[in-house]
Structure 1
Amino acid sequence: MTSWAARYRAGECFTVWAELREGVPAASAEDAADVARETMRRVAVNADIIVERLAGIGYSFAFPDQVRQPPTPGDLAAVRKAEQAIGPLPLALRACLEVVGGVNVCGDGGALLPHVGYHDVPREPADFYPDPLVLPPGRHLWEEWQLWGDPDTEGHTFAFAPDDIHKANVSGGVQDVELPSTAADPELLGTRPGVTLVDYLRISFAWGGFPGHDSLAVPPRAVEELRRDLLMF
């Protein structure tokens, strides 16, 4: 039987992840983890491309020191410590923390991305929120557990990222992942009901890192350039 990883690399990205979500036998755990790592390698490439393209059009990042934070040895150690304390991490989440690292494209889009704002728009409810891509570095999981985790209480809700409202510098909430979990691809709670982490990333890159634009009949032209020729995963 052809491995999941081989099929994934051959182009069966959506089919393989659909099968992984049905459950991963213990004997196939490394094969499934290989798929997750390959997925997140492609996510990392796409994130780097979008960050470079945003910089090229003069995008004003709200947090310049957080725009791109590739995983460090400290991040990898932090993920391992967190998993020992909390319990199993979903494959997609662990790979995201260990392979992609931190991404934060919140900011001000100016005339090219007029709906994207952190400082340049009024801090009041809007018709829609562009939902800039934000991914946490691995150390955030361990730091959050140290602050809020309770060894005497089963489970932990990991605040994976701000929600779409909070990313616009408006008082909002968070995108959560419930832990521990043996799921291959966990549901990302807080923005799009029923959407898993991998699917959320697919939606995000389909809209150039700003998935909230899917609610517009005609998105800004810059979105087309941002999402051009990104890797499928």
Structure 2
Amino acid sequence: MSEFIATLASQYHWQAALIVLAGVIILTKLINYLAFLNPSLQRMREINKEQDRKKIAQEKYPPVMKASRNIGLITNLAFFILILPFCVTLELDKWWMVIVNSFIILMVYDFFYYLCHRFWFHGNGWMRRIHAVHHQARKPTYIDAFYVHPVETFVGIALFLGSLAILAAFLGPFHVSTAIITYVLFTQLNTLNHTFVDLPFPFKTVSWITAKHHIHHENMHKGNYATITLLYDKLFGTLD
């Protein structure tokens, strides 16, 4: 038993997990700062803020958002303390493996999210009713990324964090930069999907991505179930 505990302790890299947390915070702030130096993106942010103010004034928004935020915080905190230290390392053999591993993590997560979203969230059971809370936003703006039932918030976060942890168990610990990149892309893309944007070149791709998810929000019978990329919708015939 003592040898088992000693082995676990040797694999528990809390310093690496702490670096991931700091890196996620810094990179997120840097991306937001640089993005909104652009006048077109600034204009879109103001439009979203104007609509968000109207929504947050509704009685239904604050309690759902608070509950969702709390469960998200607890889920992330448990992961960063109990699981992530076993999944990350400070050692890096080949820099390009950061790109490869980031791609693998995000695509594996998006595959499982696609399946859950299509067959569970939009199925015929109790999860459909939970997901319907989020679908009250027919024309989503920034704030609607956080207007999610806490059960759905837990499932979504757990799918991503679980994908990272399971892959680390099979492929070995990921470099901290891989965890930082994938976590930031996971959070930013899930938020971006819900913002209202109408952008000129070179941001037309952003407009296309958000337009596809807005189609999904028109009712509970639309496609476009993936969240990172629409590749799985294209492959399985649900691109709407």
TM-score range, shorter chain: under 0.3
TM-score (norm 1): 0.28
Q: Which has the higher contact order (CA 8 A, sep 6+)?
A: 2
TM-score (norm 2): 0.27
Task: Give the structure with the higher percent helix.
Answer: 2
More strand by share: 1
